[in-house]
Amino acid sequence: MPANAFRLAAVALILIAGCASQPTGPGHWQPLALDRVQLAAVALPDADRLADPRVCRYAREDLQRNLERSLPRRLAPVGFVAPGDPPPPSGGTGTLRVTITACRIESHQWDVGGGEPDITFYETLDLHVRLADAGGKTLLDRQLETVEQIQTDIPTPLFDFPHTVPAARIYGLFSQGRVWQSG
């Protein structure tokens, strides 16, 4: 691929990603009166009772990894503390909790004629996103539903979902030290 075509494709992807990470609906940006935000480990309660716990556990791990990578840029100048990092000094630290409340996988198999069948997998994650300040006051409380789709010829989608859609919906609620308030 020529260098100019590669650059053009990269710019297009960045623009698309930027559009996908903006909150929708009526609301406004509210400055975060915090020194830093600590991301709690993404929670997946009752994973063993899910239809495919391996896929959902991977979704939890991948979503957390994506948030750790993207949130610092979205929060700045507010600081970011990743799960497992040493606890920050007291005061001025909010806690962001993300819980996967439901995780569903659906699939549809397509016969494309002559070769291996194509399988389209859909992963739906229901998310509860809550940000509280150091005193426990809720600054953000959102319920989100995200759907990602992949197409493959293998019978399991375990490592194929990028989990960029749920991560973008969450980090899109933050921008330059501000949080999106609905309404």
Count other C-beta atoms under 10 Å from residue 70's C-beta.
20
Q: Is there a cis peptide before residue 77, judged by omega within 30 degrees of 0? A: yes
pLDDT over threshold 60, residue 10? no
**CA nearest neighbour of 22 among 173, 130, 165:** 173
- For the whole model, what pTM was predicted? 0.80
Confirm if 118 and 112 have CB atoms less than 8 A apart.
Answer: yes
Model confidence pLDDT, tens digit, residues 157-179: 666 777 888 999 999 999 999 99
More confident residue, 23 or 143: 143
pLDDT over threshold 90, residue 40? yes
Q: Determine the pLDDT at residue 79.
A: 95
Which residue type occupies 34? L
pLDDT over threshold 50, residue 3? no
What distance in Å separates the CA atoms of residue 176 and residue 6, rounded to the nearest whole number?
29
CATH number at residue 86: 3.40.50
pLDDT over threshold 60, residue 2? no
Average pLDDT on 9-38 reads 67
Model confidence pLDDT, tens digit, residues 83-97: 989 877 777 999 999
Structure token digits, residue 110: 């397509």
Model confidence pLDDT, tens digit, residues 99-139: 999 988 887 777 666 666 687 888 889 999 999 999 999 99
pLDDT over threshold 60, residue 24? yes
Structural domain count of the chain: 1
